[in-house]
Amino acid sequence: MNTATVSEDEGHQEHSEHGLSDFGYIKIAVILATLTAAEVATYFFDFGVVEIPSLLILMVVKFQIVVSYFMHLKFDSKVFSYLFVTGLILAMMVFAAMGTSMAFWQNPSGCDASAFC
């Protein structure tokens, strides 16, 4: 049991240290450049109602690729993923709290809280 555990740990360590080859990283960079070009294309061409969803999806995909491959989260310990995702979730909660306060909270004079800006 112990031997198996050690072997798995060693295997994980070797994988986490190596990640992808240099050529693999270059391929990832080409994919990222292509996605960026697609993003910029939305500025020059009218994509109608799908423009904003497309931009958000492209942003999330690029974010995920950089975090997974360049930052090695895909190959590294889950502890790092938990630390980072916790920060991301808290950041989204900050956004939700601010959005809620600006959209729904009103001051006694009847003006909404966003009136100051």
With contact defined as beta carbons under 8 Å apart, do 25 and 41 qualify?
no
Residue of the chain from 1, 4, 49, 117 that contacts another protein (CB under 8 A): 117
Q: Which token pair is 20? A: 């992808």
**Is 52 near another protein (CB under 8 A)?**
yes
Residue of the chain from 6, 7, 11, 26 that contacts another protein (CB under 8 A): 26
**Is 31 near another protein (CB under 8 A)?**
no
Nearer to another protein, 25 or 108 (CB): 25
Nearer to another protein, 33 or 106 (CB): 33
**Is 47 near another protein (CB under 8 A)?**
no
Instruction: Provide DSSP, 55-107.
Output: HHHHHHHHHHHIIIIIS-TTTS-HHHHHHHHHHHHHHHHHHHHHHHHHHH-B-
Q: Which of residues 68-107 bind another protein (CB under 8 A)?
A: 70-72, 77, 79-80, 83-88, 90-92, 94-95, 98-99, 102
Task: Count CB-CB contacts under 10 A for residue 72.
Answer: 17
